[in-house]
Structures are given as C-alpha cells and as structure tokens.
Amino acid sequence: MKLKTLVSSLVFAGLSAASQAQLAGHNVILVHGFQSDNLFHPPSSNTEIVQNGENYWSSYWNSRAEARFDWDSSERIEDGTAQRLYDDAVSMSQQGLCTNGCVIVTHSTGDLVTRYFLDNQADWLAAAGHEPLNILTVLDFAGAGGGTEIADTAVSMATSNNVFAWAALEAVKAWVGGDLDSNNLGVLYDLQPSNARNLAVSPSSVPRLRFAGAGNDYYGLTGGFITGTDDGVVPTHSSCGAVSAKSYESCSRDVYFDGAKDSGDVNGPSTLFYNHYAVLMGDDIHHNGAIGNQKGVKLTYVDNHFSAGGINVDFSTKNESKWYWRYNYQYVQNSSNYTMSETVFNTLNN
C-alpha cells in the first residue's frame, strides 16, 4: 500500500499540555482497542475519531500519556488505519516526541495495530525523510494480537445469515452491541485468528510485555465461542502472546491465573512470539478491567525481575500457603488494592 502525507491527526489533543505525562522518564503513546460502535456508526470526521480515542482511555491512562494513535474500527488495518498511523507517526517524528524513547501502551486490538505499525514505521518514515520513532517497549493489556475466535463467529454470522444459531448470534450481539451484516465488519476481519496471526509477523526488536486476565465478561455468553481460557473477548493464546492458537488455561506452565503454583503441570504455552514476555495475570480481570477501574483481584506473575527496553520490571511479590488446598500461591504484593493498570504503572514508573 502506498501511503501519502495528509493533514496529521490531532494526536496530542486531550492529553497533558504540561509534558509531564511519562513512564520511567519516557513519553507514552496509547493505542486503543476495538470500538464496536464504529461498525454501526462510522466516524464522520477525524475529530470524532480523536474524541473516541480520548474517551476510550479516560479511566486511567489519558493523564499519563503524551500522544495516541487513534483509529477507526470500521476500517481494515492495512487500509485506512495504516494511513492514520503513518500521518500520526510523521507528526510525532517531526515534533521529536520519541527522541528520548517512547513507551507504547495498548489494549485489545491495539496490540495488533501496534505490531503492524512497528513492522512498517521505519520504512514509512525513512521514505518521507523523517527519523523513525524510537520505541523502547510496548505494554499490552488484554492483547488481541493473536486474534479471537469470537471474531470468527461474528464474521460467520454476518456473512451466512444463519438465524438458527441462536447462541452464537446472542454472543456476538452481546459483544458488539447489535446485529452485524457483511457490510459493517471492518477490523473484525483482521481479528480472525488466521488473519491476525499472518499480519506483520516479522520479529521485532521492541519487547512486548503482556498483562492478561481470565475474568467473566458479557454475561458469560462469549466464552463458549473462544478457545481455552479467556477474558470475555480475548483468548489466553492471544493475550499471553503464544506462538500457537491453542486452548490454554494460563500464560505459564508453572502457575495458574489465580496464582496457584504447579510446576510443569499447567496447560500453558511452551513458546511465545519473539521478544514477548508474559508478565502479570489476574484470574478475575475481565477484558475491559485490564485498563479500567476493576480492583480487588490478586495478581500473579510469570516473568519478573528483568529489564525490557530500559524499563525495569520488578514487582514486589509474596508467597502464600492455604491449609485447605494442596497448592502454594504466588502474588504481587498489595495488587488487590489497585487496578491492574495502577499496579503496572506504579511499578514500572521507576
């Protein structure tokens, strides 16, 4: 696809004007996830897309970021979204946003959008005569980079008109909030696992830190159409960054989502995508709770005490034994007092 320079998006609109919104001394860029309303009411202007992006991150991250990549879920990633990414990247490069290195924070489909961006941005910006953005690391909350089977179900229902598949129709409707047809599927095509896992697959030098949940969402209607453990939208194989789209119950082979340790006997992936690190898991964290206001969940850890792109991952931890159960448990200290995003920011912002 040939990209051309257009008037840049308002990537800094609604964010901190004081230029103090950073993580570990580095500017933060946000990349939001799937917005189902775009499918039924495509944004009529770039201003609306920007406003949607600001609203998406209102719970926590907006005040801790300097910029966003805002995009439209009614468009395909390699089409309209690619052009928006290019325009915003040119603007960010011109303004020197990432001279000191940037951290990208994604949610859901933002994981896949960011992977596509990282795979292409150096070529895009070099061709336009600009320096590529210096991205140090990416924090992926409930990442959908491996796709989700509920997108397969949505596309199938919209294109086959199988009105007798009541359970599937209700699951899709609960997720997207309405009835789909073949003309308003947009990024859902990209979210099908077979498509997601073949989009921008070149190994990247940018570390991807994964934060996954396994909580119930959408009244439990969607889980029956998603492979393995899920957060109501995204399967564990995707949120953990697993190489294979298999049925997993954890990001680890040694610890369950609830922190129970069972060395070598947990059904988790043996291999993650290159430079992907499964960091935190929360048994009751649902899809939107990962970046929202959900508290009261004891988080456990998989990878800890390491550095990724200059960002130190060093969560304070504790072990617990429960007399009535055979497992020992490992937790992040005091994590139930905070949201997942707060726990991550407070630890990594050092």
Q: Is pLDDT above 50 for 13?
A: no
Q: Is pLDDT above 50 for 41?
A: yes
Average pLDDT over residues 41-49: 97
Higher-confidence position of 17 and 96: 96
Instruction: Give the C-alpha separation, 149 to 39, whole Å.
Output: 18
Print burial letters for 140-170: b (CB count within 10 Å at least 16), e (below 16).
bbbbbbbbbbbbbbbbebbeeeeeeeeebbe
Q: Is pLDDT above 60 for 198?
A: yes
Residues in a beta bridge with 69? 31
Contacts with 67 (C-beta within 8 Å, 6 or more apart), sequence order: 11, 12, 15, 27, 28, 29, 30, 88, 92, 97
Which percentage of the chain shows pLDDT scores above 90?
88
| CA proximity to 237, closest of 207, 195, 267 | 267
Summarize pLDDT for 208-218 with one digit per residue, the tens: 999 999 998 88
Summarize pLDDT for 116-148 with one digit per residue, the tens: 999 999 999 999 999 999 999 999 999 999 999
Which percentage of the chain shows pLDDT scores above 70?
93
| CA proximity to 93, closest of 64, 61, 135, 62 | 135
pTM of the full structure: 0.95
pLDDT band per the 50, 70, 90 thresholds, residue 318: very high
124 close to 86: Cβ distance less than 8 angstroms: yes
Q: Is pLDDT above 80 for 18?
A: no
The per-residue pLDDT of the chain, averaged, comes to: 93
Please identify which residue in the block is written with the tokens 């699951």.
171
Summarize pLDDT for 46-71 with one digit per residue, the tens: 999 999 999 999 999 999 999 999 99
Summarize pLDDT for 257-294 with one digit per residue, the tens: 999 999 999 999 999 999 999 999 999 999 999 999 99
Summarize pLDDT for 136-191 with one digit per residue, the tens: 999 999 999 999 999 999 999 999 866 658 899 999 999 999 999 999 999 999 99
